[in-house]
Chains A and B, each alone.
Chain A
Amino acid sequence: MSLRSPLGRVLGLGSAKDGTGHWWAQRVTSIALIPLTLWFFFSLLLLPGLDYGTVKTWLAVPISSFLAMLLIAVLTYHSYLGTTAVIEDYVHAAGVKVLSLLLLRFLYVLFGGASIFAILRVAFGS
Chain B
Amino acid sequence: MPVRVRPLSPHLQVYRWQISNTLSILHRLTGVTLALGLVALSYWLISLAGGEETYAAAMRVFASKVGLFFLIGWTFSFLFHLLNGVRHLFWDAGYGFERNQRHASGWLAVLGALGMTACVCLVVWHGLHT
Chains A and B form a bound pair = yes
Question: Interface residues, chain A, CB within 8 Å of chain B?
Answer: 27, 30-31, 34, 37-38, 41, 45, 49-50, 52, 55-56, 59, 68, 72, 75-76, 79, 82-83, 86, 111-112, 114-115, 117-119, 121-122
- Interface 1/0 per residue, B37-60 and A, CB below 8 Å: 011011001101100100110010
Q: Across the interface, do A82 and B31 meet the contact criterion of CB distance under 8 Å?
A: yes
Q: Across the interface, do A50 and B89 meet the contact criterion of CB distance under 8 Å?
A: no
Partner of B56, one of A31, A41, A52, A114: A52
Give the chain A neighbours of B52 by CB distance below 8 A.
52
Give the chain A neighbours of B48 by CB distance below 8 A.
52, 55-56, 59, 118, 122
- Interface 1/0 per residue, B73-106 and A, CB below 8 Å: 0000010001001101100100000000000000
What is the count of residue pairs linking A and B with beta-carbon distances less than 8 angstroms?
Answer: 69
Q: Across the interface, do B34 and A79 meet the contact criterion of CB distance under 8 Å?
A: yes
In the complex, what's the smallest C-beta–C-beta distance from A33 to chain B, in angstroms?
8
**Is B32 among interface residues, defined by CB-CB distance under 8 A?**
yes
Q: Across the interface, do A86 and B92 meet the contact criterion of CB distance under 8 Å?
A: no
CA distance A91 to B123 in the complex (A): 41
CA distance A1 to B14 in the complex (A): 32
CA distance A27 to B88 in the complex (A): 9
Give the one of B45, B89, B127 with max A CB within 10 A.
Answer: B45
Partner of B46, one of A49, A56, A114: A114
Q: Across the interface, do B123 and A45 meet the contact criterion of CB distance under 8 Å?
A: yes
Q: What is the chain A residue whose CB lies nearest that of B85? A: A30
